[in-house]
Structure 1
Amino acid sequence: MRITQQEFHDLFEEFESECLHMETRDAYGTQAEIEPFSKWLAGEPDDFEWLQGWCDTLRRGVAQGKVLRRACVVSEPLSEYQRWAYSVTQPLVDAGEDIRWVPRRSVSSIPFPGNDFYLIDGCKVVFMHYSGEGATEDIVISTSQSDIDLCRAAFDSAWSLAVPHRDYKPV
């Protein structure tokens, strides 16, 4: 089932206990990130103001006992985008999201879905469809047990190999 951007954002207020997020691309071009990434490329400082809405959502969720974990599967050496993403991750970690980095070469034998996803409360998967340039094209929810099982197994396997943000040293 296709959902809107607003329905997608609402999921983060509505989920009950656990949100697992798997990122597998080396670059994204989502609207919210274009300007901060461009500034970083130009060597300009970032005040992280653009992240505050998400940080507030994270803090609210954590205060309610919710768990938010993200596994970032990355090629090494990191792409420019991933070097930037690493540089803006600490405020998210400080707000309560457990973010870990997984070198792509470590997950060669792990079956992965073809798209990034969020696994919400173990009962629905939100698949993110991106253009070749990394812009969000479509957001689709699945409650298919086979999708849930695949995403859970992929996330758990990658997570077991992942390095916490505080310990990951970008290559």
Structure 2
Amino acid sequence: MKKLFLITTICTLSFASAQTNAFKGSDFENFADFTKSLNNYGLKSYATQDAGNGVGDSAALKISTTTDRNDYVFTANGTETLPATIKDITFMVKGTADKSLSINLYKTDGSSYKFNIGDLKADATIEVADNNNYAGVINTNGKYVKVTLNCASLKDISRDSSSNFFAIKIGKEAPYNLDIDDIKVN
């Protein structure tokens, strides 16, 4: 039984160490690092650091708003420290929203892959979609859930630190009260 536990622990540690921050500051602990990693549009004023409310009482990104249009919360630039092949991107979400989130993952040509989160109340794996869509509601019942964007078959993902890499978008005319944390690549 000890050997099985040790093997399981080693495998878990190996898996965990394979993940890295998706961009500088994507764990929201050093908010200045996060904001420096954003493109020239920066961060919307309704998105702030939420100290103590992240995973394990760390910091998170708080999104608290009702906007009159579909909106980019932020767009982060690429980083050369990303793996050559990205299997998936994961992030944690806690809270409620009357519409869902849509994620853009940018290609080297400036266009993007779109991932629509849809209804979210438990861990979910999301596949690429044709267009951005905010259909669905989010209610995690006060707990963090893990969102996994399946990137295994995607090619030409931008890694250039002067180009767009990852964006979170929200839908219009719906209240959002979310914490997002630990945006990682694997």
Shorter-chain TM-score bucket reads under 0.3
TM-score by length of 2: 0.26
- Which structure shows the higher helix fraction? 1
Answer with 1 or 2: which has the greater Rg: 2
- Which structure shows the higher strand fraction? 2
